[in-house]
Amino acid sequence: MEEQFDLIVVGAGSAGAVIAARASEDPRRSVLLVEAGPDYPDTAQTPFDLVNSHNNSYTDHDWGHSYQPTALGRSVPFPRGRVTGGSSAVNTTIALRGMPEDYDGWAAAGNPEWAWEKVLPAFKRLERDLDFGDRPYHGDAGPISIRRYAWDELTPVHQAWLEASDALGYPRCEDANDPDSWGSGPHPMNKVGRLRISTAIGYLSAARARPNLRIMAGTHTRRVVFEGTRAVGVEVERDGQVETIRGRAIVLSAGAIQSPAILMRSGAGPRAELERHGIEVLRDLPAVGTRLSDHPALAVVCRARDASLLDADQPIVQTILRYTAPGSEYRNDLQIEAFSFSPRGGPLTHFAVAAVLEQVHGTGTLRLASADPHASPVIEQHFCEDERDRSRLVGCLRDTLAFIRTEPLAGLIAEQTFPDPRRALSDESLGDLCLRLSASGFHPCATVPMGPDGAVDQYGRVHGLEGLMVADASIMPTVTRANTNLTSIMIGEMVGEWARTRGSKLYGL
């Protein structure tokens, strides 16, 4: 392609769609948004699995990755969205922000632009909170609509779970995005009725008409092209043909799995990893792929006394409890949440209540399987190998077991099927379960972490390379104490606004 764009954004997901939309608000700047998956220009053409926010889309718009959650576990699917909107188009639509301390922690690690007081305006700008938009820490006019289920909209499982939470002494929390809140209540969710409000709907719908924005779907990015140490374009593959598209600045927003993989294929990553695959080392960046952070979880599974209460067309998640482990220095480092049903093949007979560790010490790795641009990376999480993580998840699992023994939730249960109640559930045995069976909350991040000792600076600029930025969940130094989609959209808002208002100074635009 002979045309040169001012800005090329690779990945039209939770962050990339936002960056392209915000940067293209300047009509003088040409923006190309490259997406490996398909693009659906309006909701009338959008497949049901992407519209249906009641459950995730697991296969039709997925990358097909797998991962190994624990050293003792087997490899299992690791769903990631491959479509405009990225994982925001296929996920459960949980719209949690994380704790102010998460962002202040990022700032203290050498990234002062990401302090809570600086990211809060971006959170407010992105949201249209239909319940609490008049509060000073919320927005009421943004592109992402957020609401919470009312009591009469909750499934019987979620109603009983909330009443059990009351009986156990946890406070009610009307708004989990109140910076000072904790307790149990309805999830904030980016959905309107059944419709999932992805970044493709919230951001790209309004931006598509701009003549300076082009969306190139069905286009797989192989690597970034450099002249010396300056990024000058991307090598892509579409319709079986390989071509190079030139740009003055490149932003990788392909997500926490694909962004580090593209970087490494381009010659930027740990030297030993690149040399192992015969990739010429352009820049030795030891932090790429070596600090993978995520949320380990383990669910208690129960057979329902009345299976007619379970329906696969119900919203699978509606409520949450956020609280702090005893003696922990990390506020709201634990979550417990109910699932309306637990698919086990055949008729629905079970539901689940999950224990989730939100603040983690342990890290995993992401490596290349080969230099082949179509090969999925090797993802190993190493969940609960850090004793500090394991002990808190064990405690959370005990608290989760207390829920299913408390009325009125207990009255919905015919039997507990996991963990096996016939086993002695000592701390040691529960810890063993965590080491063997913990699974991902599917919130990978920190694979291209920002910071002085990371891979990018606080503006997303790759250390030692010019004209190349990364902006998505991969640049988070650590996982937030929340589902990561809203934070990823916030990252897109921050970098998109910097590109729009300070692009010449920061990014050479």
Helix (H, G, I), strand (E, B) or coil at 303: strand
In whole angstroms, give the CA distance from residue 125 to residue 136. Answer: 12
Helix (H, G, I), strand (E, B) or coil at 432: helix
H helices of 127-225, where? 156-167, 199, 205-207
Query: Are the C-beta atoms of residues 94 and 485 closer than 8 Å to each other?
Result: yes
Q: Phi and psi (nearest 5°) for 499?
A: -65, -40
Query: Are the C-beta atoms of residues 509 and 5 closer than 8 Å to each other?
Result: no
In whole angstroms, give the CA distance from residue 504 to residue 170. Answer: 50
**How many CB atoms sit inside 10 A of residue 241's CB?**
7
Query: Are the C-beta atoms of residues 193 and 385 closer than 8 Å to each other?
Result: no
In whole angstroms, give the CA distance from residue 152 to residue 206. Answer: 33
The residue from 65, 187, 443, 463 that is catalytic is 443
Burial bucket for residue 298 (CB in 10 Å: 0-12, 13-18, 19+):
buried
For residue 5, list its beta bridge partners.
247
For residue 335, list its beta bridge partners.
322, 356
**How many CB atoms sit inside 10 A of residue 150's CB?**
9
Q: Phi and psi (nearest 5°) for 167?
A: -65, -30
In whole angstroms, give the CA distance from residue 95 to residue 126. Answer: 11
- Bin 487: left if φ > 0, else alpha if -120 < ψ < 50, else beta: alpha
Could you confirm whether 54 is annotated as catalytic? no
- Residue recorded with tokens 């000073």: 136
Please list the active-site residues. Answer: 443
